[in-house]
């Protein structure tokens, strides 16, 4: 009996030692998460996305972002490193292989495409499908996790580097890197202004908790930036008396904000990729607990919950539209690409691109 007790005690000590001292990549930082109010006004639960239909992408998955080409076709990024071309009949073709994991995608004034590739940096894809890397380091530091981007009227590319600590390539994927960064809450994300003409690139916003979606206002006066790990949208002024200043536009969102895309009539579309996690909020001020949980098997750690939720706001942060699907047929929505007739629903996983005709809203 004594031998059994001694063995049990030894195992318990070993388990405690593992939970307390085993090295993990994160060094959590204490912060005060705002109380999750849930799906209350103006985010009330609804099924306005229910009529959306699917465009089947075949073997390609993860249409993180979409843009329209000068040829009138849609172009989407995919998790296997392709830009996909989608015609008006929903036919899908492989347009270009850019490698890595392309995330943000925009059409430049010359008809080429600019993509933020989490593995490779900022790339240009010409109309013939050839690929050029425009930027893969800033101030001598390799880009670890280029995420979303926006192109200003003067050609400046504003893009987010989600995390400088948890690179997508280093941690074998964008999702894996995002989980580590959000669990740590170490404010290593940043937004960078890059001029393809001169090659100049410099940080304009730093200390962000998973910097994500970026969009430029129609009048070019400000940027909107999604700070995913802090559940909020920031406004950074590019012009006027507040030029260079950053302020909180919307705080305490009911989910993790992802992409920000310009819509019609000056609105901005934001995907709430997943609802907030009660564990992360409850233990936001207890970094030791979060570090211990990181040592548990992956299936016991906090998980992203599938949902389907997108919102549209104006430049003052007023919520104009709140669209959801309680069945989450298109889960983990990253955002919306808006045309005159439809909303295209981009997502983190799966091989379907959602399309919601405006007549069905």
Q: Report domain extents, the chain.
A: 40-360
pLDDT at 19 (0 to 100)? 72
| Whether the Cβ atoms of residue 226 and residue 242 lie closer than 8 Å to each other | no
238 is written with which tokens? 């590019």
- Give residue for tokens 């390799």: 142
**Separation in Å, CA 281 to CA 277, 311, 337:** 7, 22, 30
Distance separating alpha carbons of residues 211 and 224, to the nearest angstrom: 11
Architecture of domain 40-360: 6 Propeller (2.120)
Buried b (16+ CB within 10 A) or exposed e, 17-38: eeeeeeeeebebeeeebeebee
CA dist 93 and 357 (Å) reads 22
How far apart, in whole angstroms, are the C-alpha atoms of residue 19 and residue 292?
5
Instruction: Measure the CA–CA gap between 100 and 77, rounded to whole angstroms.
Output: 11
In what side-by-side order are the strands of the sheet with 246-250? 211-216, 222-227, 232-237, 246-250
pLDDT value, residue 22: 76
Angle between helices 174-184 and 287-294 (to 10 degrees): 150
Task: Give, as one character, the DSSP assignment of residue 165.
Answer: S
The strand pair at 121-125 and 92-97 is best described as: unpaired
| Cis status of the peptide bond prior to 42, with omega within 30 of 0 | yes
Please answer whether residues 62 and 258 qualify as being in contact, where contact means their C-beta atoms are separated by less than 8 angstroms. Answer: no
CA distance 99 to 9: 51
Whether residue 86 contacts residue 74, with contact meaning beta carbons closer than 8 Å, is answered with: yes
Positions in the chain short of pLDDT 50: none
pLDDT tens readout for residues 205-256: 999 999 999 999 999 999 999 999 999 999 999 999 999 999 999 999 999 9
Structure tokens at 296: 């548990």
Length of the chain: 361
> Alpha-carbon distance 234 to 242, whole Å?
14
- CA 35 from chain centre, in angstroms, equals 22
According to the model, what pLDDT value does residue 259 have?
98
Please name which of 27, 43, 34, 37 lies closest in space to residue 281, comparing C-alpha atoms.
34
């Amino acid at each position: 009996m004594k031998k059994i007790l001694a063995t049990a005690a030894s195992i318990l000590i070993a388990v405690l030692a593992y939970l307390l001292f085993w090295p993990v990549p994160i060094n959590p930082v204490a912060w005060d998460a705002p109380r999750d109010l849930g799906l209350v006004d103006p985010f009330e639960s609804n099924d306005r996305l229910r009529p959306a239909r699917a465009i089947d992408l075949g073997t390609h998955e993860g249409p993180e972002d979409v843009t329209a080409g000068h040829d009138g076709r849609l172009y989407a990024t995919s998790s296997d490193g392709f830009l996909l071309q989608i015609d008006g009949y929903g036919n899908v073709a492989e347009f270009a292989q850019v490698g890595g994991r392309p995330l943000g995608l925009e059409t430049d004034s010359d008809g080429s495409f600019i993509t933020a590739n989490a593995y490779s940096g900022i790339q240009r894809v010409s109309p013939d499908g050839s690929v050029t890397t425009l930027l893969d380091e800033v101030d001598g530091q390799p880009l670890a996790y280029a995420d979303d981007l926006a192109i200003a009227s003067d050609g400046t590319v504003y893009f987010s580097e989600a995390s400088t600590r948890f690179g997508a390539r280093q941690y074998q994927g964008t999702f894996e890197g995002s989980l580590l960064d959000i669990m740590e809450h170490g404010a290593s994300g940043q937004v960078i202004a890059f001029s393809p003409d001169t090659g100049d690139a410099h940080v304009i916003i730093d200390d962000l908790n998973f910097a994500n979606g970026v969009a430029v206002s129609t009048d070019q006066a400000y940027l909107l930036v999604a700070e995913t790990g802090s559940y909020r949208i920031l406004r950074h002024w590019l012009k006027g008396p507040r030029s260079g200043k950053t302020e909180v536009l919307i705080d305490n969102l009911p989910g993790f904000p992802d992409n920000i895309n310009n819509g019609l009539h000056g609105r901005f579309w934001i995907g709430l990729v997943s609802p907030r996690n009660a564990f992360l909020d409850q233990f936001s001020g207890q970094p030791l607990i979060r570090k211990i949980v990181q040592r548990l098997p992956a299936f016991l750690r906090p998980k992203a919950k599938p949902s389907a939720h997108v919102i549209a706001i104006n430049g003052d942060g007023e919520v104009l539209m709140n669209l959801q699907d309680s069945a989450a047929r298109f889960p983990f929505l990253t955002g919306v690409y808006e045309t005159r007739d439809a909303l295209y629903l981009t997502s983190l996983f799966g091989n379907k691109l959602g399309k919601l005709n405006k007549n069905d809203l």
